[in-house]
Structure 1
Amino acid sequence: MKQQQVSSWCEKEASFISHDGMNLFYRAWQPSNINDGDVTPRAIIFLHRGHEHSGRIRRLLSELCRPEDYAFAYDARGHGHSPGERGDATSFTCLVADLDAFVHYICRQYDFAIGDVLVVANSIGAVVAATWLHDYAPRVRGVIMAAAAFNIKLYIPLAKPALRLLRCFKKDIFVDSYIRPSMLTHSREQVHSYEADPLITKSISAKILLELADTAQRILYNAAAIDTPVLMLVADKDYVVSESPQFHFFKQLSSPLKRYVKLPKYRHAVFYEKDISSAVSESRRFIEGCFKAPLLSPESYMTADKKSASAVLYQALQQNEKKHLLGQRWFALLRYLLVRFGPLSQGMQIGLTHGFDSGESLDYVYRNQANGRFGIGKLIDRLYLDAVGWHGIRVRKHQLQQLLAEQLILRDKPLRILDIAAGSGRYLLETIKRYQHKPISVTLCDASPFNLQRAKALAEQLGLNANISYLQRDAFDPASYQGEESQYDIVIVSGLYELFSDNDMVLRSLRGVCASLKPDGVLLYTAQPWHPQLNTIAHTLTNHLGKAWRMRPRPQAEMDALVNLAGCRKVATLIGLDGIFTVSTAHKLAPDVTD
């Protein structure tokens, strides 16, 4: 570890292990004079621009931090001193997971609560931060987004479609930056500094560039799910990114504290301009406001099923709103084709018979083996199974099994596991199969006797040694949990609460779930923060009750708040395909512990 003095801070260089085991380089600036308790320390985490590295953050400390504040910045993979091919990463979501891993590492290593953290991010880093807020719903104090790169100006016509086409033939394409340093700032000093910096990465992977664009569209579409305080600093003379997506993002935010500041004569490198006084003063005022304002309480989310952006969209679906005649005819055509040709596909036939949200449908999607009649039916079935939602369901299964396996590895004593709405129980039973040597008892509950029979048949097919009980129970009935208090080490709730909008109903169930956990118990739960095919599903597919399958995506922050109110606290989240589904781990809170 390297250490040096930086004004009021002592700089340290080290590394942390990210979510996938990769060691990423970071810098920590610790106050030279540790306060005696009169001032509460704060953690300011900086995300550098694309092409840059954490060393360029150093000059911002005295501008944005108090002498008592701790500051941190890491080199994104493929940048600076961090490993990886320059300008590349496994995926854009991998970059977001790196941020989540870094924040949790800092909180553990330096003994900060996540509510002591504020993030400052520039350009691509700002989109990473926005995605993190949406997908992981961290309870941080706030985020400053400078020149957020929701839409990069590529200038070359049809540049993105051309890159997508080229990647069909060659995956590892890199795009050299067309931006000259003088287009980033009016400061000659910063231009020379940028040109002379050997750690600046001049190119970016086309894969990351395209995934950035796709993710930005997703976050812009569902920005209302974000309620963290946000300050947006927008450069008036930005040659790199467009302003309109930044303003759209800001308008959609549900944050009780948010500000949009357009900075006259600023270029893209907002904090590296010739005169940064306006950006600094706005940032300082925002930071102070964030730390003075209380965090949103878990109780404030209880009415989100009635008063929120997602509630408004859900009410529109409930009222069967179709804004355009063309849309009405399109959905009518889809329904006709489903009824006429759907039975050729085995998956669609199951959905038409039992409901597309039923345990039978889910189990068929898990198996992912196309079947149908007359050849064409198998092709239709393959297209059906490859729908983005079903693909996401299978990713969710894999992630749930991953988190469950981690718990099974950690615990050596005899284990009791409860699944309150198991369906066929495939994700659980397949995981248990790999740990036959452990003493495990499993209780599978479901409201459907048919699902329980299928689970029993699957357990027999797998040849499980575990002690398995099959109980017909309603997951929303408090009586289902009576007599089960503090009996289970692990409780699983998968794919259930996503189907029900009512928060009171979900909380009643969660309270029974958390009461069933032992004092050191773990809850594994899923959520669906958004879905790209919400309208199509609502207007064409039916649920297990034979009614239109209308869903209200529940933002991750809302789902986590309900879990907290029930008596557990989230400790980790895995993000699924396109952020449609998430799987989280929560620990049971000690009595009288509040968030």
Structure 2
Amino acid sequence: MRQQKQKTFISYDGCQLFYRYWPVIDSNTNQPKAIVIFHRGHEHSGRAAHLADELNLPDYQIFAWDARGNGQSEGERGDAPNFATLIKDANCFIEHIMQEYNLRQEDIAIIAQSVGAVIASAWVHDYVPNIRALVLGSPAFSVKLYVPLAVPGLKLLYNLKGNFFVNSYVKPNLLTHDLERATSFTKDPLITRPISVRLLLDLYSVSDRVVKDANAITVPTQLLVSGSDYVVRRKPQRQFYDNLGTQQKEFHILPGFYHDTFGEKERKFAIDRARRFIIGCFANQLCVPSLVNADLVGYTRQEADNLTMPPSGLIKPIYWKFIKTNLKYASKLSDGIRLGFDTGFDSGSTLDYVYRNEPSGTSKLGRFFDYVYLQSIGWRGIRQRKVHLEELLKLAINRLYDQNYSVDLVDIAAGHGRYILETINQIANKPNSILLRDYSDINVLAGQTLIEEKGLVNIARFEKGDAFNREQLAQLSPKPTLAVVSGLYELFSDNQLIRNSLSGLAESIPEGGYLIYTNQPWHPQLEFIARTLTSHRDGQPWIMRRRTQREMDQLVATAGFKKITMRIDQWGIFTVSLAQRIR
């Protein structure tokens, strides 16, 4: 049997998480390879420890964690602030083992089961790591709750009474035919039977997003699906597989298997397939598809093109006309909706209004409409993006001070510049200079006023400028050591515009300087936005083409920047990334 070591690491928020580590026992290469195991829901790494030997891969390091709130890891049992916390924990875990054990992303393969498979697939989707292989055992994209209308009922109760816990209904003899394993499940003191409703509902939400947008996953992926699974549904697993964006994919149904795919009595059939797939993926050259021309060909382009067409059928045109008519009526009462129709729902003025988040209208009804408008999922994501922007701004400024660089900051499409100026007023070490730019005269005037209100006239100035003009950006003065591009690239489908902008910044930012950029890899209301809201560009429909995170990161890398870290909101809508100029 392989030697096991027990370790811990600290996640992003200080939570200590436990993991098991099995070093290699036979290595013929200088570069180590690794398999990372994500356990089933309610369980822990000890329940997957048998795989370290049964995989029969002696030249691979093997790691298996206890997810937050499970096993020997910290956190309330069966709970987390949201499912995105578990995904971010997973990213911290991978970053930890890469640093601690001298691994690269391409040295890693993932084996994950049930809820762990959802965590792993969402991590691969959101953080786009260049790992070798992803093996998913019966992913819990849709849990069978059996009670009619269980999910809507749980949502209603959650909204009425707040978070509460439910116990797993699953009996051990419905998990596996292996009697010894079923008995050990009953007796294991580290098994966490309750799960919070908050986390359970979030599991459904994240799963729905990942299944629908699985085309963004380009990592070679194998699904091992239990044929007699009483716990999760097969249809979303098949949809996920069909939607996957990689050609290197496999879908295996294992007849008679219960839900515990890698813990079944005949698990050798699953383990043999996983081993063969992983060895094959490592034998192949790492193949990362180029997406820098995804504005011309690809599924996000097709999605955007479809939104330019009138709605089809008899009902949809009437429905969208009804919605838009009601919004027009609401704009007479709600200040925020009226501002959107006046200046564009994607304008700097609208963005500043959303940041302030203070419902306003001509009456109580108008203020209610405004409140509902400001609480829409997109605007909540925008405000969380602001939080992440402020976090990475502070991080980048501290890094520049540590490197003894002058902090000269530029935001090339600042809107009113509120988040930049408010962040600067929160830190003791002010930048040497702040240059805010925008194409809109309205934004320039409002930004100048805000600079005066915030008392930053001695270091900050606002000027009119074109964020896509390469020559203008290349001649910025003083040369910025930190550039910010927030909420801009998401509004324009054409990647050549993005290349022009990034190239100009690359010519201006010295080696070692930083770039903060945002992206919108997902949005649940794309059709609603396209059919009912207008853009700042001559009142045209606001049609957005999503960029997968891989596409956006590749455009940044092509300009000569290396991505360092990333933040993403709990809904997966907006990301904020920090990159450093390397050439």
If the length of structure 1 is used for normalisation, what is the TM-score?
Answer: 0.94
Using the alignment, how far apart are the partners of 2:415 and 2:168 within structure 1? 51
Distance between the aligned counterparts of 1:36 and 1:330, measured in 2? 62
Pair 1:394-2:362 in alignment: no
| Match 1:101 to one of 86, 92, 113 | 92
Cα distance, 1:121 vs. partner?
A: 0.5
Q: Within 5 Å, give how 1:442-461 maps onto structure 2.
A: 442-461=434-453
Pairing 1:467–2:476 present: no
3-state SS in 1 of match to 2:542: coil
1:62 to 53, 56, 61: 53
Displacement of 1:94 in angstroms is: 0.5
Aligned CA distance change for structure 1 residues 488 and 278 (closer, same or farther; 3 Å):
same
Query: Offset at 1:279?
Result: 1.0
Residue 204 of structure 1 is aligned with which of 175, 190, 195? 195
Q: Which residue of 1 aligns with 2:346?
A: 357
Q: Is the 8 A contact 2:84 2:570 kept in 1?
A: no
Query: Quick one: which amino acid aligns to residue 256 of structure 1?
Result: Q
**2:336 aligns to what?**
347
Classify 1:166/1:217 alpha carbon distance in 2 versus 1 (closer, same or farther; 3 Å): same
Deviations 1:498-557 (A, max 9, x none): 011112221221122233222111211111011111111111111111211100111111
- The letter for the 2-side match of 1:109 is E
- 8 Å CA contact 1:541, 1:548 repeated in 2: yes
Per the TM alignment, residue 282 of structure 1 is displaced from its structure 2 partner at its CA by 1.5
Cα offset, 1:132, TM superposition: 1.1
Contact 2:526 2:544 in 1 (8 A): yes
Structure 2 distance, partners of 1:583, 1:533, is: 20
Alpha-carbon shift at residue 475 of structure 1 (Å) = 1.2
User: How far apart, CA to CA, are the structure 1 residues paired with 2:77 and 2:360?
Assistant: 44
Does 2:302 align with 1:312? Answer: yes
- Structure 1 segment 56-95 matched on structure 2, within 5 A: 56-64=47-55, 66-95=57-86
2:165 counterpart (169, 174, 177): 174
Instruction: Tell me by how many angstroms 1:408 deviates.
Output: 2.5
Contact 2:118 2:140 in 1 (8 A): yes
Counterparts of 1:419-568 in structure 2 under 5 Å?
Answer: 419-464=411-456, 466-484=458-476, 487-545=479-537, 546-568=539-561
Residue number in structure 1 paired with 2:133: 142
Identical columns (%): 42
Residues 90-139 of structure 1: CA deviation (Å, up to 9, x unaligned) = 21111111001100111111111112111110000011112112222222
Which residue in 2 is equivalent to 1:277? 268
> Quick one: structure 1 residues 515 and 71, their matched pair in 2 at CA, closer, same or farther if it must change by over 3 Å?
farther
Q: Deviations over 1:550-570 (max 9, x none)?
A: 001111111111111111122
Aligned amino acid, residue 476 of structure 1: F
CA contact 2:474–2:505 (8 Å) conserved in 1 = no
Of 573, 576, 580, which aligns to 1:580?
573
Deviation at 1:485, TM superposition (A): 9.4
Shift of 1:87: 1.2
Which region of structure 1 is more displaced relative to structure 2, 134-143 or 113-122? 134-143
| Residues 61, 133 of structure 1: alpha-carbon distance in 2 compared, 3 angstrom cutoff | same
2:238 to 244, 247, 250: 247
Distance in structure 1 (CA, Å) of the matches to 2:478 and 2:512:
9
Query: Structure 2 CA distance, aligned partners of 1:205 and 1:397?
Result: 28
Question: CA contact under 8 A between 1:139 and 1:228: conserved in structure 2?
Answer: yes
Give, in whole Å, the separation in 2 of the partners of 1:208 and 1:577. 12
1:303 to 286, 293, 302: 293
**Match of 2:202, as an amino acid?**
E
Query: 1:323 is aligned with what amino acid?
Result: S
State the aligned residue count: 579
- 8 A Cα contact 1:436 1:465, kept in partner: no
C-alpha contact 2:409 2:431 (8 A) present in aligned 1: no
Distance 1:296 1:509, change over 3 A: farther
Give the aligned residue type for 2:558: L
Conservation of the 8 A alpha-carbon contact between 1:486 and 1:515: no
Note the 1:212-291 alignment, pairs <5 A. 212-291=203-282
Deviations 1:380-439 (A, max 9, x none): 222211111111111111110111122223443431111111111111111111225434
Aligned to 1:328: 317
Q: Which residue of 2 aligns with 1:377?
A: 366
Q: Does the Cα contact within 8 Å between 2:385 and 2:576 map onto a contact in 1?
A: yes
Q: Which moves more between the two structures, 67-76 or 321-330?
A: 321-330
What is the distance in 2 between the residues matched to 1:167 and 1:345? 29
Determine the C-alpha separation between the residues in 1 that align with 2:104 and 2:458. Answer: 40
**Residues 1:326 and 1:515: Cα distance change in structure 2 (over 3 Å):** same
Quick one: structure 1 residues 36 and 364, their matched pair in 2 at CA, closer, same or farther if it must change by over 3 Å? closer
> Does the 8 Å CA contact 1:10/1:31 hold for their aligned counterparts?
no
Q: Which amino acid aligns with 2:448?
A: K
TM-superposition CA deviations, 1:306-365 (whole Å, max 9, x none): 2211111111112x2413321111111222223344132211222111111111111111
Distance 1:109 1:50 in 2: 27
TM-score (norm 2): 0.95
Measured at CA, do residues 485 and 373 of structure 1 come closer, stay the same or move farther in structure 2, by a change above 3 Å? closer
Compared CA separation, residues 202 and 435, structure 1 to 2 (3 A):
closer
Matched, 1:159 2:128: no
Match 1:407 to one of 384, 396, 403: 396
Sort the Cα spacing of 1:439 and 1:481 in 2 relative to 1 into closer, same or farther, 3 A.
closer
| Amino acid paired to 1:115 | E
CA–CA distance in 2 between the matches of 1:458 and 1:401?
17
In the aligned structure 2, how far is the partner of 1:86 from the partner of 1:484? 53
**In structure 2, what is the Cα distance between the partners aligned to 1:532 and 1:428?**
28
Quick one: distance in 2 between partners of 1:126 and 1:297? 22
Q: Bigger shift: 163-172 or 329-338?
A: 163-172
Distance 1:437 1:188, change over 3 A: closer
In 2 relative to 1, CA 130–446 (structure 1 residues): closer, same or farther, beyond 3 Å? same
Q: Distance in 1 between matches of 2:184 and 2:575?
A: 42
Residue number in structure 1 paired with 2:408: 416
Residue in structure 2 matched with residue 14 of structure 1 by the alignment: 7
SS at match of 2:251: strand
Q: Whole-Å Cα distance in 1 between the matches of residues 560 and 246 of structure 2?
A: 25
Structure 2 contact 8–17 (Cα < 8 Å) conserved: yes
- In the alignment, what sits opposite 1:118? 109
Letter in 1 for 2:501: S
Query: Quick one: distance in 1 between partners of 2:182 and 2:429?
Result: 63
Give the whole-Å Cα distance in 2 for the aligned partners of 1:386 and 1:172: 20
Are the counterparts in 1 of residues 346 and 536 from structure 2 also a CA contact under 8 Å?
A: yes
Quick one: distance in 2 between partners of 1:358 and 1:36? Answer: 55
Report what 1:4 is aligned to: none
Alpha-carbon separation, structure 1, partners of 2:181 and 2:288: 43
Please report how far the alpha carbon of residue 33 of structure 1 lies from its aligned counterpart in structure 2 after TM superposition.
4.7
Structure 2: tracts of 5 or more residues without a match: none
Question: 1:52 is paired with a residue of what secondary structure?
Answer: coil
SS state at 2:50 partner: helix
